[in-house]
Amino acid sequence: MKNRYRLLLISLLMILLLDITACTRGQVMREPNQRAKVQQIHYKEWLEAANRMPYEEHRKHIQNMSQLFPGVVFYKGNPNKKWVALTFDDGPDNYYTYKILDILHEKKAPATFFIVGKEAKMFPEVLKRIVSEGHDIGNHTWDHMNFNSLNTSKVKQEIQKAEDEIQRITGKRTDLFRPPYGIATVEDIKEIHNLGYRVIDWSVDTVDWKGSSAREILTFVNQEVSPGGIIVQHCMAGKKGELDGTVKALPRIIDRLRAQGYEFVTVHTLLGS
């Protein structure tokens, strides 16, 4: 009887070791691109922010702010031109950003990347590639902290620290800014404007950070896109670190919208500057 228990215990230990080995192997597969390291952008805060401001409420918030601050807050461009701007938040990283850049290069489609300063510091060569290939860049704060938890002084610090890093790497300053989660108060916007930025929100939310499938992302775009639209996607982070749906959907978005007569432009072009 004791031998049976001993054999059972040994079998269970072997199964456990196999599971651990399999998990470790999966982690090793990701290490060349440091995916595990670079995919930690406050996912819990993201969910909390989304819960505080649901989709329709956020849309109304953006529209209200654009009316309160004309020429400062934008969520779309000229509706009389069939232009659309692709935007990508939270990068750069050295995995998904590369894949997205490869697609944009192949399709000859310009885009605008809203840069998180600490990620730029980690992957300066990726940021340099973004700029060298003719894409727009915008400031997306130093480490993507929710403005709801910050005072005005800290908001300013988050923006300025990111700007300093972007300038150090690219030699350029940007006048485009996107607040984390697209949320900013009246006082925040006044401070952002005083720093020389325009606030860029969006009219089409692909919700790709949830790990949405390519089909879901395409559905969001098809339902919401209109002339002058600004589409928000991500080039880093996402639920469980996965943005595979974003990568798979991107060439289809470009092909489908071009077939409908849309032209892809940067945010600066969209706004006429």
What are 10's two structure tokens? 């040994």
Choose among 195, 210, 204, 271: nearest CA to 241: 210
Contacts of 198 (CB under 8 A, 6+ apart): 71, 72, 73, 74, 175, 176, 177, 271
Does residue 245 contact residue 206 with C-beta atoms inside 8 Å? no
CB count, 10 Å around CB of 259?
A: 8
Amino acid identity at 159: I
For every residue of 221-234, DSSP letters joined together read HHHH--TTEEEEEE
Does residue 174 contact residue 138 with C-beta atoms inside 8 Å? yes
Q: What is the 3-state secondary structure (H, E, C) of 124-141?
A: HHHHHHHHHCCCEEEECC
200: three-class secondary structure by DSSP: strand
Residues designated catalytic? 89, 234
Polymer length of the chain = 273
Beta bridge partners, 86, equal: 231
CB count, 10 Å around CB of 74?
A: 24
Contacts of 222 (CB under 8 A, 6+ apart): 256
